[in-house]
Structure 1
Amino acid sequence: MSAESTKTAMDGADNLSHDDFISGATEAMERYLTFRTDNLIFGVSTNYIIEIITNHVITAMPMMPNYVKGIINLRGQIVPIIDIRLRLGKPAIEYTSTTCVIVLNVDSVFIGIIVDAVEQVLDIDYSRISSVPASNREELVSGMISMPDNKVVLLLDCETLVNNS
């Protein structure tokens, strides 16, 4: 993998305007990277993110669930790769130039998730996070937040993703 094929999760974050962040900085804030999958917007805490890979070669593994696309070798670390769209029970699509892998480190377990596109980095105030209605609860969603533009960001539960994949 070349240096051009990877970038850190925070690349470009400094280029975002103040309007790209949820204002009102307090001590109860956390930074989230948002990404799009199947026309849904998800957020993942940047505390888990190792890097974003845009050029990846995945080695397929036999006898795995359809959402496990295989593994990659990331500087000597074997990282399983999950297509988050398939993991959520959504239909498969062709990968495009915006498709990328977000590599996460959750409690010393590395995992990569294939997403349709990375959006932006937001500072999210914990007090603005709502719980997911029990009747609509997605097993991989720990909460949601309503954005000023009336979009909803679903917060990915990384521990559940790692423990149930």
Structure 2
Amino acid sequence: MEENKIKGVGRVANRFLTFYLEEEIYGVKISDVKEIIAMMKTTPVPKTPRFIKGVMNLRGNIIPVVDMRVKFDMPEVEPQMYTAIVIITIEGKNIGFIVDKVEEVVNVDDENISPPPEFGSNIDTRFIENMAKQKNKVVMILDLVALFGEEELSLVQNLSKTISDKG
């Protein structure tokens, strides 16, 4: 059985960490989450896309940091009290994601998960893996590999190696 599923009373539940960007709630598989930390200073890296805030030193490891608001074409804001960095492992590499507020870990039964709606060819929803009904909310479950695409993901993942090699 996959590690992101737990057995309930005769059902299988999927576990997701939920977080907010503005008023929208998103989720990522809990099995991809390494840790959640308070917002910390990042070091900008020249000539990188605008959504890459820079890198940070987390206990001796250089980790690239992505501003999810910028990645989703939302206005940039100064960090607030609840701003956090979610450290996520994608294809074996750790990447920090700045989010407005971490909400909770939720268990969602298979019957409450559905594919994202199709909006036509003009709207890109490839990065939404599923939609999860949770209480009175709909959580957009992100496919982080699809969100970046191979080229961007490779760029972000290689930032930590490039910075470490120079140090």
- Distance between the aligned counterparts of 1:90 and 1:156, measured in 2? 16
Match of 1:43 among 27, 30, 33: 27
Q: Please list, as runs of the form range in 1=range in 2, the aligned pairs for 1:4-153 lying within 5 A after superposition.
A: 25-26=9-10, 28-135=12-119, 136-149=123-136, 151-153=137-139
Deviations 1:104-157 (A, max 9, x none): 1122111110000011110112332111112154332111112222x2100011
- Distance between the aligned counterparts of 2:139 and 2:94, measured in 1? 24
C-alpha change, 1:81 and 1:26, in structure 2 (3 Å) is farther
1:156 aligns with 2:146: no
Contact 1:79 1:111 in 2 (8 A): yes
Query: Matched residue pairs, number?
Result: 142
> Which residue of the partner structure matches residue 164 of structure 2?
none
C-alpha change, 1:78 and 1:157, in structure 2 (3 Å) is same
Contact 1:28 1:127 in 2 (8 A): no
SS of equivalent to 1:118: strand
- 5+ long unaligned stretches in structure 2: 1-7, 154-167
> Which residue of the partner structure matches residue 13 of structure 1?
none
Deviations 1:2-44 (A, max 9, x none): xxxxxxxxxxxxxxxxxxxxxx655632211110002100011
- Distance between the aligned counterparts of 2:56 and 2:88, measured in 1? 13
- Distance between the aligned counterparts of 2:15 and 2:36, measured in 1? 16
C-alpha change, 1:45 and 1:25, in structure 2 (3 Å) is farther
Contact 1:30 1:126 in 2 (8 A): yes
Larger radius of gyration: 2
- 5+ long unaligned stretches in structure 1: 1-23
Deviates more, 1:116-125 or 1:152-161: 152-161
C-alpha change, 1:72 and 1:127, in structure 2 (3 Å) is same
**RMSD of the alignment, in Å?**
2.0
What's the CA shift for 1:91?
Answer: 1.3
Percent identity (aligned): 33
**Where is the helix percentage greater, Structure 1 or Structure 2?**
2
Letter in 2 for 1:72: M
Contact 2:63 2:95 in 1 (8 A): yes
